[in-house]
């Protein structure tokens, strides 16, 4: 990722509607399987932790650790007090079966991950038998746009592709769902306009305060809806899976 993107993330990841909303959804997906406040001894790894905000949010489930390839990301995470090491997702610097939960948010789609099967198998290697892995990636090729180019995207996934990926890596699917669904028509329109106007650059920026509140509120609604059902379309896709017991 461009150094400018890390600087933007460090400034905005704690407050911007999309980051905050996606953290809310991730917690909603994990909460039925991980009792909040009773994670003594539970260890979580966020692989590709970026600037470290996920580590703070997921700490309700246990002791969080981060790993990221970028020294800029590692530096930002350490400034925020997170436990983090520099390392490659394709060769994680941990022994097998080190963690109870592994998360990886918006990493597998990057151009430097040329083999997403190898990446997920490596995440599975460091996961304890019976442990959970939660993956999130950008969804649907129709939404490809200037932001994807700015952050060096390789691919946008479908839900069925993610289900096939976790199965190929020996994981048992718990559930999969699209997210950022209520705003899908707005996002699709934005992408068509990007192409028509030949716009370049990423989407990492604060919106006017009212829109920030409204858009975050819509993602918070989605987090509640996911207690009952999976969403049929959206700009992101989550896959929650379990490593079989030994």
Q: What is the mean pLDDT of the chain?
A: 90
The CA distance from 14 to 22, in Å, is 11
pLDDT at 37 exceeding the cut of 60: no
Domain coverage including residue 176: 3-242
Query: Per this entry, what is the length of the chain?
Result: 246
Any idea what the CATH number is for the domain that residue 202 is in? 3.40.50.150
In 3D space, the residue among 157, 178, 66 whose CA is nearest the CA of residue 108 turns out to be: 157
pLDDT at 38 exceeding the cut of 60: no
Q: Name the band, by pLDDT with cuts 50, 70 and 90, for residue 142.
A: very high
pLDDT at 73 exceeding the cut of 90: no
Q: How far is CA 4 from CA 113, 206, 209, in A?
A: 20, 15, 23
| The pLDDT of residue 191 | 86
pLDDT at 24 exceeding the cut of 90: yes
Lookup result for tokens 């899976």: 241
pLDDT at 137 exceeding the cut of 90: yes
pLDDT at 75 exceeding the cut of 70: yes
Residue 137 pairs in a beta bridge with: 237
Strands 99-105 and 43-47: parallel
| The pLDDT of residue 5 | 61
| The pLDDT of residue 39 | 55
For 81-98, b/e burial (b = at least 16 CB within 10 A) is ebebeebebeebebeeeb
For the chain, the domain total comes to 1
User: What SS3 class is residue 131?
Assistant: strand
pLDDT at 9 exceeding the cut of 70: no
């Amino acid at each position: 990722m461009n150094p400018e993107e890390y600087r933007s993330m460090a400034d905005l990841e704690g407050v911007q509607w999309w980051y905050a909303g996606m953290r809310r959804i991730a917690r909603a997906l994990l909460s039925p399987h991980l009792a909040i406040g009773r994670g003594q001894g539970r260890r979580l790894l966020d692989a590709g932790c970026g600037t470290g905000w996920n580590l703070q949010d997921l700490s309700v489930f246990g002791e969080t650790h981060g790993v990221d390839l970028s020294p800029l990301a590692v530096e930002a995470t350490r400034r925020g007090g997170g436990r983090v090491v520099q390392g490659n997702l394709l060769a994680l610097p941990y022994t097998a079966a080190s963690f109870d939960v592994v998360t990886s948010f918006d990493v597998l789609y990057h151009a430097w991950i040329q083999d997403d099967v190898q990446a997920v198998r490596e995440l599975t290697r460091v996961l304890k038998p019976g442990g959970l892995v939660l993956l999130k990636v950008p969804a649907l090729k129709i939404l490809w746009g200037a932001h994807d180019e700015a952050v060096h995207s390789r691919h946008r996934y479908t839900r069925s592709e993610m289900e096939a990926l976790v199965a190929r890596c020996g994981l048992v699917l718990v559930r999969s769902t699209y997210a950022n669904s209520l705003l899908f028509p707005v996002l699709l329109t934005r992408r068509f306009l990007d192409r028509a106007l030949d716009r370049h650059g990423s989407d990492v920026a604060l919106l006017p305060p009212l829109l920030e509140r409204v858009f975050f509120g819509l993602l918070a609604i989605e987090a509640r809806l996911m207690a009952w059902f999976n969403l049929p379309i959206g700009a992101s896709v989550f896959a929650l899976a379990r490593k079989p017991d030994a």
